[in-house]
């Protein structure tokens, strides 16, 4: 209730005399016993919906191979003529005895990981495999044990966690199939059947296109995530394709390391530098800050993502790259920092500061670490913010030398998302003292997609098409950032001309026609969805 002085008072009980009694707060919830609540069989379906990408799922299994001491890993696509039938990951690691195999295949089972292991949560084998396959079979042998196998079939697993025991003769034959390539005395084979990613129809051309695309992506992903292991020379990953009808290996590809810091010459003579971040709960965390040389065409720079995606932090756990790029809420990515990359070694036991995702494809960093970055320095008292300024300067100077300095423009104003306006102001220097260009929706009599008011500096969008542009979502002042950004980039020069020439008028008519056709197509699609 509210008192006369508008303060809020809570009452939790009273005695017979009417005196209010406030119960003492219990910091620990009292309990009276326990009850066993086994998982529902449908938990297996939840296990398969972890959102693993194909490359990340395969990488998780290769991590297991590395933890098992493997020196050679073969990722083996099997095809029967035009049809892909199975995918196998084979290694020459120490293998698993029967009890270890049972733990590895138990949902929720978790073995004791050695110091420096890449495995962490104990769910990767099951969730990574069943995210992409209808069944996963694991066959393994140690130096002292015979081959043993277990198989999860999703249809059987959903009815009560029934894991199949592989027939011993087949387990032996599968190990023998890879004798010497790479299995010698011990090793493990993981087999995926019913792989959801594999093309179902389309003939040999579709299969060839799929293999070319997926092997390239898989090679780049593994080469990047595991580049430190691959660079040592005593660890190899091979991607192969075999036609089981003929026994011929039709493709054999050795994965090469893709070092995100493998530049031939430095971009700035004062870098790399090691900055120290003092985090009270984790101690001192070192960061190795690099500035890439401008205009690099190496795959380690250009081939692993856009310039906005690959700048920032490269986080390593036990030499495995678990995040490639991103500023983790420290700042927004921008073109001028595209040469900045920072290697961070995750310290052991700092899970409250650095929280790794189950899929090992990203890290959540605590605000404590982000705040500490502002005070990070190196041994020469250079600040981390000074490093960012240096990377920015190297990029800008390179642009000037290349003769691509951009002309100032009238900036965007209301109607465009502030984050987009910020990027535009960084990329296109604003004309000082000029009123910004406003973008807003308005009801038109005709069916044009947009109109421009040069005197008022407005881009007006036809309200008729708003629902189609937004895909049925609710709108707001800064909605539709994609279409508004594109319109600004197309039209901003129009507002700077004294008069419109014939080329300008022709372009406006062209853009108008194409956008109206696209908006009508979106309206038709939205109408189809509404009718379903």
Do 387 and 480 lie in one domain? The reply is no
Please report, in angstroms and rounded to a whole number, the separation of the first and last CA atoms in the chain.
50
Does residue 394 belong to any structural domain of this protein?
yes
- How many domains, the chain? 3
Domain shared by 394 and 423, yes or no: no
For residues 136 and 148, the answer to whether their CB atoms sit within 8 Å is no
Write the CATH number for 219.
3.30.565.10
Amino acid 217: pLDDT: 93
Mean predicted confidence (pLDDT) in 227-231: 97
Whole-angstrom Cα distance, residue 7 to residue 4? 7
Are 130 and 193 within one domain? yes
Sorting pLDDT into bands at 50, 70 and 90, what band is 463? very high
**pLDDT-based confidence at residue 23 (cuts at 50, 70, 90):** confident
Judge if 131 and 209 occupy the same domain: yes
- In the chain, how long is the greatest CA-to-CA distance? 93
Nearest alpha carbon to residue 258 among 211, 213, 309, 305 = 305
- Rounded Cα gap, residues 147 and 175, in angstroms: 7
H-type alpha helices, 39-122 = 43-47, 54-67, 98-105
Same domain, 242 and 292: no
Write the pLDDT tens digit of every residue in 70-86: 999 999 999 998 899 99
pLDDT at 531: 44
Residue pair 163/105 in contact (Cβ under 8 Å)? The answer is yes
| Residues 166 and 200 grouped into a single domain | yes
Domain finish residue from 221, 253, 285: 253
Give the C-alpha separation, 442 to 426, whole Å.
29
Question: Which three-class secondary structure state does DSSP give residue 252?
Answer: strand
Model pLDDT, residue 423: 80
For residue 409, being part of any structural domain is answered with: no
Q: pTM higher than 0.85, yes or no?
A: no
Give the per-residue pLDDT at 305. 75
- Look at residue 221 and tell me if it is in a domain: yes
Is the domain of 297 the same as that of 378?
Answer: yes
CA distance 301 to 261: 8
In three state form, how does the secondary structure of 134-167 look?
CEEEEEEECCCCCCEEEEEEHHHHCCCCCCEECC
**Tens digits of residue pLDDT in 159-204:** 677 788 999 999 999 999 999 989 999 999 999 999 999 998 768 8
How many distinct helices (H) and strands (E) make up the chain?
Answer: 15, 18
pLDDT at residue number 497: 87
Are residue 114 and residue 225 in the same domain, yes or no?
Answer: yes
**Whether pLDDT at 350 is above 90:** no
* Residues 386 and 455 grouped into a single domain: no
Quick: pLDDT tens for 267-316: 999 999 999 999 888 789 999 999 999 877 777 777 777 777 899 999 99
Residue 15 lies in a domain: no
Question: Two tokens at 209?
Answer: 């296109």
Inform me whether the pLDDT recorded for 38 exceeds 90. no
Provide, for the chain, the percentages of residues in helix, strand and coil under a 3-state DSSP scheme, each rounded to the nearest 5: 30, 25, 45
Interval 510-525: pLDDT, tens: 999 999 999 999 988 8
Which of 334, 365, 399 delimits the end of a domain?
399
431/394 same-domain check: no
Task: Check whether residue 85 and residue 162 sit in a common domain.
Answer: yes
Q: Identify whether residues 282 and 356 lie together within a single domain.
A: yes
Range of the domain at 313: 273-399
How does residue 118 score in pLDDT terms, banded at 50, 70 and 90?
Answer: low
Q: Which residues contact 145 (CB under 8 A, 6 or more apart)?
A: 95, 97, 98
CA distance 431 to 433: 6
Report helix, strand or coil for 18. Answer: coil
Whether 532 shows a pLDDT value over 50: the answer reads no
Residue 8 lies in a domain: no
């Amino acid at each position: 209730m509210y008192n006369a002085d508008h303060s809020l008072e809570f009452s939790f009980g009273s005695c017979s005399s009417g005196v209010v009694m406030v119960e003492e707060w219990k910091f620990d919830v009292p309990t009276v016993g326990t009850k066993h609540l086994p998982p529902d069989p449908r938990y297996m379906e939840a296990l398969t919906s972890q959102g693993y990408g194909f490359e990340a799922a395969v990488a998780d299994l290769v991590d297991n191979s590395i933890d098992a001491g493997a020196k050679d890993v073969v990722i083996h696509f099997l095809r029967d003529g035009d049809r892909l039938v199975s995918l196998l990951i084979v290694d020459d690691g120490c293998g698993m005895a029967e009890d270890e195999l049972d733990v590895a295949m138990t949902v929720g089972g978790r073995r004791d990981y050695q110091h420096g292991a890449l495995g962490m949560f104990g769910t990767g084998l099951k969730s990574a495999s069943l995210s992409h396959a209808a069944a996963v079979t694991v066959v393994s042998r140690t130096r002292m044990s015979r081959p043993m196998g277990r198989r999860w079939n999703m249809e059987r697993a959903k009815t009560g966690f029934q894991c199949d025991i592989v027939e011993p003769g087949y387990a032996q034959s599968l190990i023998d199939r890879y004798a010497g390539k790479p299995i010698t005395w011990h090793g493990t084979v993981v087999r995926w059947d019913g792989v959801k990613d594999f093309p179902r129809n389309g003939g040999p051309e579709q299969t060839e296109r799929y293999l070319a695309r997926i092997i390239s992506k898989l090679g780049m992903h593994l080469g990047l995530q595991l580049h430190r292991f691959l660079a040592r020379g005593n660890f190899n990953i091979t991607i192969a394709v075999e036609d089981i009808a003929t026994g011929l290996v039709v493709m054999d590809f050795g994965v090469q390391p893709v070092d995100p810091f493998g530049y031939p010459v430095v971009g700035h003579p004062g870098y790399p530098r090691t900055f120290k971040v003092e985090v009270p709960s984790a101690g001192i965390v070192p960061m190795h800050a690099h500035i890439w040389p401008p205009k690099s065409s190496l795959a380690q720079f250009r081939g692993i993502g856009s310039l906005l995606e690959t700048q920032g932090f490269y986080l390593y756990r036990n030499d495995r790259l678990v995040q490639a790029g991103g500023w983790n809420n420290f700042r927004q990515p921008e073109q001028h920092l595209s040469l900045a990359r920072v290697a961070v070694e995750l310290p052991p036991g700092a899970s409250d500061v650095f929280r790794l995702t189950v899929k090992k494809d990203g890290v959540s960093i605590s605000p404590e670490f982000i705040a500490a970055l502002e005070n990070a320095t190196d041994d020469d008292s250079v600040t981390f913010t000074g490093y960012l300024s240096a990377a920015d300067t190297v990029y800008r100077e390179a642009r000037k030398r290349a003769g691509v300095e951009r002309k100032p423009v009238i900036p965007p104003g209301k109607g465009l998302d502030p984050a987009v306006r910020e990027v535009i102001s960084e990329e296109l220097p604003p004309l000082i003292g000029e009123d910004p260009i406003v973008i807003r929706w308005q009801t038109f009599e005709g069916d044009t997609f947009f109109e421009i008011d040069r005197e008022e500096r407005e881009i007006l969008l036809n309200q008729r098409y708003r629902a189609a542009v937004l895909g049925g979502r609710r709108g707001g002042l800064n909605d539709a950032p994609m279409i508004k950004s594109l319109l600004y980039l197309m039209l901003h020069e129009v507002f700077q001309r004294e008069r419109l020439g014939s080329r300008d008028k022709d372009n406006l008519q062209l853009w108008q026609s194409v956008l109206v056709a696209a908006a009508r197509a979106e309206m038709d699609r939205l109408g189809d969805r509404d009718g379903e």
